[in-house]
Structure 1
Amino acid sequence: MVIKPLTPRLSVAPQLTVDDIARVARSGYRSIICNRPDEESPDQPSADDIRAAAQAAGLAFAYIPAISGALTDANASAMRSALETLPAPTLAYCRSGARAEKLAQMAGLLDDPAEADTCDVLIVGGGSAGIATAASILKRRRGIRLTILDPSEMHYYQPGWTMVGAGIFGPDFTRRAQADLIPRGARWIRESAAEFHPEERQVTLGDGRRIGYQVLIVCPGISLDWGAIPGLTETLGQNGVTSNYRFDLAPYTNRLVQQFSGGRALFTQPVMPIKCAGAPQKAMYLSCHRWERMGMLARTNVQFHTAGTALFGVPTYVPPLMAYVERYGIDLAFGSKLVEIDGPAQTAIFERSDGEGTRRVAERFDMIHVVPPQVAPEFIRTSPLAAPSGFVEVDEATLRHPRYPEIFALGDSCSASNAKTAAAARKQAPIVAVNALAALDGKPPVATYNGYGSCPLTVEAGKIVLAEFGYGGKLLPTFPRWLIDGTRPSRLAWLLKDTILPPVYWHGMLKGREWMVKPQMIAAGQTT
């Protein structure tokens, strides 16, 4: 089902099926028009079938059949009358969508300046940050005109890919149809953003259209630059080269680890920032634990090559991690950046920096888990919204742009110095929601963000070091120390990761249920 928005009140689509109707309702549409005569094709559902499904989903329905190639003024007049009386927004359909669009044009609905494509709140990005923020806004203010821009057909629970790579989750556990997750009342345009025009309060879409807004929220995520490492793209998924940073490759990680019979296993971490800075280590520790149980660890040389100078950015968590480095016999290589890979020869080239300068070193491998360099999306890096880092510039407390007070950003694409994790986005979403609504009302921000992020470091199957911290590395534990001591490996923290967090994500965060992340409000007289 491919929907083409024409105006804020009308979109068109090809032939709908009965199974499509629930998705149409979840996407925020309130009525359906059928422009295709019954029995035009032997396999099409009847208008009565679609009407019944629409009414069951709480949608209004109108049947305005029109013959392809013989559209009449009467058809156009009926279309105009229906759109004046049906609750908006409306989805009209025919065989391909073209007939419905032509009728809208004949009815003069596409030439009306009042129909200029605009909304109250425009959210660029329909990942975890975008959908959570949309849901939080709509929970607080029903009837707001909120639009989400995102071209994706599928939505992924990316924190689960570490567990897929370890054989704990199946890959399908981490994905759902995007249409099933768009909050009711939101309009979803399946297009990407291409260019920002903040002075005009407009965004150009990938197809060339423009959409206006009163408040803009930017959260399209981070770009994984696989092509920055010569030889990597063409060898991923073969020759022992894998990465849990892609849905289709995490199962390959599982197979490689399961079938490993000893040898050299390399794990890499690029220059910061990256999403979930602990993920490269998680893959390594879980692999080592499996090899330990298989009796294979003694026959394996495990190396961790990180471009950084420390095992983890918050010193408090380094000692418990080092205990596992020693237990698994991992060789640490700091200041070691992967710069090239020869898959068929199973050789990785690293650029190493130390007190003697920089040199290139070749390392043979039997398997290698690669984490690619990561950058802000190009359309953000080249935009007026960008900070020197390339990410959307924001005030670290309010997540508002310093030069454009009607623009906010969160998640992996904003310039705040917090760790780029799903837990951070979960905390940021309600803060941006209330601040965006305040901006819509012409008021200053009302909530503040302390930089909270969380990294459940899976040091073995069944135990996790639960790192929780904010700006400057300040520890921000959610639970009392007697329940979960984040500085020690914990079975309860594993239960949190394995059993509790996935439903919290799907049924809490993406539904606007702000369990344990209610926004911290700015006290009267307090400045940020």
Structure 2
Amino acid sequence: MSSGCVLTARNGRMICYALRSFSTATPCAADKHYKLLVVGGGTGGCAAASKFASKFGKGHVGIIEPNETHYYQPMWTLVGAGIKRVESSARPMSSCLPRKADWIKCKALSFDPESCKVTCTNGDVISYDYLVVGMGLQLDYHKIKGLPEAFSQDPAVCSNYNRNYVMKTYPALQNFEGGNAIFSFPNTPIKCAGAPQKIMYLAEDYWNRTGKRDKANIMYNTSLGVIFGVKKYADSLLKIVEERNIKVNYKRNLIEVRPDKREAVFQKLDSETVETETFSYNFLHVVPPMSAPDVLKESSLVDQTGYMDVNKFTLQHVRYPNIFGIGDCTNVPTSKTAAAVAAQSGILRKNLGAFIDGRPLPVLEYDGYTSCPLVTGYGKCIMAEFDFNGQPLETFPIDQSKPRRSMYHMKKDVMPELYWKFLIRGNWEGPATYRKLMRFGMGNILKPSAVHQT
């Protein structure tokens, strides 16, 4: 009898049962079946696995994740500014995954949602009853001509989005002696849409403190038509760039880096023809185009944009009800941040748990909450929090659009501890409850409501 999987309806749910192979060969991972399989050991994957490993017990949850090290990537902005060390952003993957779950150390090669199977690059086939996909985003540096080679050829080219390239940022800040300092924002969704600006504000502050600011022509070349997607915070940022004499060039998308000439070529997205604009640079911070991982894009789990197709309120897949998504790899229309994952983890816990128990969805709906701590200098931060509609959804009873030292310490000192000790352990689901308490019961928290469609 061959190994396979059958979908059976029960209480309105589709449950996947593995058909065991009656082979005399030594059992291997290809024969392994899990009640819950999680693909991805990043923020969302760790949080989801931790929640359900405790619920199901040892051996019933599997996690497909090839990397030996887990990184708290939001710290890399501070690493690039010389505030933190990159080593502080890392933990062994074994210490981040739940002990009651099985760690499958390989990459996912393909998805077969009809048969409830995931094939790994080592040939193993893992079957499941329920699947959670939290694969994050891949960095597509190669889509910019001249990259990634320029990182090794020019010490003035850096990027806070990669563990190795972020190590170049602070030395590049230190070695800068004047000229054009360019900071880019690509023409794709990215992790933390505020991060391309954060390092710019920190760089400007650093050069001001070291007496080099008057020699710097700082430019923010963004593919977007606005400096930030939420007006309240955009207004504050526009005041900052004006006060600091930072030039913002909208609708500019980086398409080529020429390290031998120190030139950066940008496509002018607001032109009817394919026009480009070339800038010389003495410092260049690159934010690469990003996308869902190729293996996910090649599966039937994605929509026409290449992101996992889930109901934005419940996180349940729109075509495969026993599959849920979390985090950056989904098409949920909110900013892709660790804060969004935290809020989504609570939605996932409630809705997947209800689905497993045969109860109707939604039990709880996601309102799009996300947060972006916009560091505006050494010791200053705007704590942006907002929902699906771009409306502020602030936790503290203060105006969070103002740069504050208290919010800087939240970003620098509190959030890393919250991440390591609570979020990836499945014990932090965002600040909704605290928001209500701090606003004396008048805050906006997630509430059960009628089903919405994506």
**TM-score, with normalisation over the residues of structure 2?**
0.88
Aligned to 1:430: 346
Equivalent-residue separation in structure 1 for 2:67 and 2:90 (angstroms): 12
In the other structure, the counterpart of 1:478 is: 395
Count of aligned pairs? 417
CA distance in 2, matches of 1:237, 1:472: 41
Q: CA 1:417 to 1:112, structure 2 compared with 1: closer, same or farther past 3 Å?
A: closer
Residue 7 of structure 1 corresponds to which residue in structure 2? none
Change (3 A) 1:476 1:522: closer
Q: TM-score, normalised by structure 1?
A: 0.76
Deviation at 1:133, TM superposition (A): 1.2
Q: Quote the Cα distance in structure 1 between the aligned partners of 2:276 and 2:220.
A: 16
Distance of 1:328 and 1:237 partners within structure 2: 31
Q: Cα gap change, 1:518/1:293 in structure 2, threshold over 3 Å: closer, same or farther? A: closer
Q: CA deviation at 1:388?
A: 1.1
Residue 155 of structure 1 contacts residue 177 of structure 1 at CA under 8 Å; is this kept in 2?
A: yes
Q: Which 5+ residue runs of structure 1 have no aligned equivalent?
A: 1-106
The equivalent of 2:373 in structure 1 is 456
Q: CA deviation at 1:190?
A: 0.4
1:266 corresponds to 2:182: yes
Q: 1: CA distance between counterparts of 2:430 and 2:291? A: 30
Of 92, 108, 122, which residue of structure 1 is paired with 2:37? 122
Structure 2 match to 1:157: 72
Distance in 2 (alpha carbons) for counterparts of 1:108 and 1:348: 61
Q: Does 1:276 align with 2:200?
A: no
2:95 corresponds to 1:180: yes
Once the two structures are superposed, residues 410-450 of structure 1 have per-residue CA deviations (whole angstroms, 9 ceiling, x without a partner) of 11100110100111111111221232222222333322211
Match of 1:366 in 2: 282
Secondary structure of 1:176's counterpart equals strand
Q: Does 1:526 align with 2:450?
A: yes
Which runs of structure 2 are paired with 1:183-332 in the superposition (5 Å)? Answer: 183-239=98-154, 240-332=156-248
How far apart are the structure 1 equivalents of 2:115 and 2:352?
Answer: 18
Aligned partners of 2:272 and 2:309: how far apart in 1? 37
Rounded to whole Å, the distance in 2 between the matches of 1:371 and 1:178 is: 26
1:416-427 → structure 2 map (5 Å cutoff)? 416-427=332-343
CA drift at 1:112: 10
The answer to whether the Cα contact below 8 Å between 1:139 and 1:512 also exists between their aligned partners in 2 is no
Q: Given the superposition, is the C-alpha separation of residues 138 and 264 from structure 1 closer, same or farther in structure 2, using an over 3 Å criterion?
A: same
- Runs of 4+ in structure 1 deviating by more than 6 angstroms, as ranges, are 518-521
Task: Name the aligned partner's letter for residue 127 of structure 1.
Answer: G
* 8 Å Cα contact 1:340/1:349 also seen in 2: yes
AA matched with 1:414: T
Contact 2:145 2:257 in 1 (8 A): yes
| Alpha-carbon separation, structure 2, partners of 1:139 and 1:316 | 41
Q: How far apart are 1:144 and its partner, in Å?
A: 6.6
Q: Secondary structure at the match of 2:316?
A: coil
**Separation in 2 of the partners of 1:461 and 1:527?**
45
Q: Secondary structure at the match of 2:324?
A: strand
CA distance in 2, matches of 1:467, 1:357: 36
Q: Is the Cα–Cα contact under 8 Å of residues 265 and 279 in structure 2 kept in the other structure?
A: yes
- Which residue identity is paired with 1:509? L
**Shift in alpha-carbon separation, 1:111–1:272, aligned structure 2, 3 A:** closer
Paired residue for 1:395, among 281, 286, 311?
311
Partner residue in 2 for 1:496: 410
Q: Secondary structure at the match of 2:118?
A: strand
User: Which residue number in structure 2 is paired with residue 135 of structure 1?
Assistant: 50
Cα contact 1:136–1:430 (8 A) shared by 2: no
1:444 aligns with 2:360: yes
Alignment partner, residue 335 of structure 1: 251
Aligned to 1:75: none
Quote the residue 1:146 is aligned against. Answer: 61
Deviations 1:203-262 (A, max 9, x none): 111112211111100011111101001102111144111000011121210111122211
SS at match of 1:413: coil
Q: Deviations over 1:275-322 (max 9, x none)?
A: 111110011110001111112111111111111111011111112111
CA–CA distance in structure 2, aligned partners of residues 322 and 260 of structure 1: 25
Question: Greater relative contact order (Cα 8 A, min sep 6): structure 1 or 2?
Answer: 2
SS in 1 for 2:424: helix
Question: Amino acid of the residue matched to residue 490 of structure 1?
Answer: R
State the one-letter code of the partner of 2:140: D
Counterpart secondary structure, 1:286? helix
Q: Which runs of 5+ in 2 are unaligned?
A: 1-22, 434-444
> Could you tell me how far 1:357 is from its partner in structure 2?
4.4
RMSD between aligned residues: 2.0
In 2 relative to 1, CA 356–436 (structure 1 residues): closer, same or farther, beyond 3 Å?
A: closer
* Shift of residue 272, structure 1, vs aligned partner: 2.9
Aligned amino acid, residue 261 of structure 1: E
